[in-house]
Amino acid sequence: MGATRRRFLSAAGLTGLGAGALAGRGGPATAAAPVVPFYGPHQAGIATPAQEHLQFAAFDVTAGSKAGLRDLLRAWSTASAAMSVGAAPAGDTGEAVGLAPAQLTVTFGFGAGLFTARFGLAGHRPAPLAELPAFPGDALQAGLSGGDLGVQVCANDPQVAFHAMHELMRLARGAARPRWLLAGFGRTGTSTRQPLPRNLLGFQDGTANIMVEHTSVVEQFVWAQAPASPPWMRGGSYLVARRIQVSLGAWDDAGTAAQQRAVGRHKLTGTQLAPLPADAHIRLASPALNDGQRLLRRGYSYTGGADAATGDPVTGLLFLCYQADPRRQFTPIQRRIAGADGLSPFVTPIGSALFACPPGARRGGYVGEGLLR
Ligand code: HEM
């Protein structure tokens, strides 16, 4: 299909509606522009108000050379830029025809497996991309963890998000193979302009999060910095992805009072409990106990299937967090809460991955150009 989605809209006589009217179909989260620019100093999808829907995939690269990797990132970047304005890549699969761009963002990350002799990148692994340690309570599955490349797709329309992932998988054929894939919904709040959402535990999520409008906080805690990060990563960020299964039946059985003690907040209002239990999740994860460190949490809930043993729905949180350096942000915080906070009896990390997300691409360029050129 060579036609752009926009051309399709005009053929259908819809152009008179204007972009703003079309944007309204995308969902309530962002009343702002329907298009999030792909090109810019930072990749879209990090300091972007979190959209309603997620598709996340990790890929293993099968291409055997740096040139093959470069071609993939170039094709992915070009297609992502097109899809983010509602245009269709060549050979498009078609399921987003007629749909608005829905604030689509695509964010690419590089896993440790890229920094090997195969791609001539052995000496280039950034120090903050150090392997995560094992944490108490981890029950990690190899097939749900790791990956040479991480791709986060977000949009306010689930079909637009799936279409983008579908296209990226199609373009990757012969160069990279999907290792794990997960759909998510019910974002963590990351914007002062969004109402706070609730996660599947029934609590508001994002109350004490970094808000993307607070640019000096984002600057300090989210973007990679010198000297820890090399020049090709400046303006980028490190993404920790943790697939955390929630035992929903046990959580329901615990009752509201115990749930509130586990989190440290009132379920309905989100206000902090007084006094705050010593092992409350928000206490052990707080900057006060973690050397002032913070994370940009940008996770999504997932569901799928029924647990054969309990009959409970299989649910969880794809916990995604962006930061300048996981060695002083995610890792110490996770060390403090793992097996120790009030949530621990109810949650089991079953997947884990870490990616270095390069800065944004310049128009006509591609993500990772600073490393791969
Ligand atoms: C299934 C797993 C998890 C659930 C359901 C969960 C849920 C929550 C909830 C309900 C809050 C309070 C509202 C808010 O401030 O957003 C919160 C806060 C927070 N969570 Fe989690 N969380 C999970 C895992 C994690 C993990 C793995 C980390 C980091 C290692 C983390 C770090 C934080 C931080 C830093 C805060 C804010 C603390 C503060 O300063 O008040 N959470 N989480």
Ligand 1 pocket member 334 (CB < 6 A): yes
> 32 falls in which pLDDT band (50, 70, 90)?
low
Rounded to the nearest angstrom, the distance between the alpha carbon of 187 and the centre of ligand 1 is: 13
Whole-prediction pTM value? 0.93
Ligand 1 pocket member 209 (CB < 6 A): yes
Q: How far is CA 352 from the centre of its chain?
A: 13
The rounded percent of the chain whose pLDDT value lies above 70 is 91
Instruction: Identify the helix (H) or strand (E) that includes residue 90.
Output: none
Could you tell me which residues are beta bridge partners of residue 357?
237
Residue of the CA atom closest to atom 8 of ligand 1: 205
Closest CA relative to residue 206, chosen from 341, 349, 320: 320
Distance separating alpha carbons of residues 361 and 13, to the nearest angstrom: 34
What's the pLDDT at 358? 98
> In the predicted model, what is the mean pLDDT of residues 181-209?
96
Shortest-distance atom of ligand 1 to CA 347: 1
pLDDT digits (tens, 9 = 90+) for 199-214: 999 999 999 999 999 9
pLDDT digits (tens, 9 = 90+) for 305-331: 999 999 999 999 999 999 999 999 999
Query: Quick check: 41 pLDDT over 50?
Result: yes
What's the pLDDT at 5? 59
> 118 falls in which pLDDT band (50, 70, 90)?
very high
Distance separating alpha carbons of residues 122 and 124, to the nearest angstrom: 6
Rounded to the nearest angstrom, the distance between the alpha carbon of 282 and the centre of ligand 1 is: 6
Closest CA relative to residue 68, chosen from 114, 105, 111, 123: 114
What's the pLDDT at 23? 32
What's the pLDDT at 123? 95
Residue of the CA atom closest to atom 29 of ligand 1: 334
Ligand 1 pocket member 207 (CB < 6 A): yes
What's the pLDDT at 126? 98
Residue of the CA atom closest to atom 28 of ligand 1: 334
* Mean residue pLDDT across the chain: 92
The residue ranges of DSSP E strands in the chain, in sequence order, are 53-61, 105-110, 149-155, 176-187, 237-246, 296-297, 300-306, 313-323, 347-357
Residue of the CA atom closest to atom 42 of ligand 1: 285
Rounded to the nearest angstrom, the distance between the alpha carbon of 102 and the centre of ligand 1 is: 27
Burial (0-12, 13-18, 19+ Cβ within 10 Å), 363: exposed
In this structure, what token pair is assigned to residue 100? 């608005």
Ligand 1 pocket member 282 (CB < 6 A): yes
Residue of the CA atom closest to atom 30 of ligand 1: 334
Amino acid at 168: L
Query: Quick check: 3 pLDDT over 70?
Result: no
Choose the residue to mutate in 204, 221, 272, 297 for probing ligand 1, maximizing ligand atoms within 8 Å of C-beta.
Answer: 297
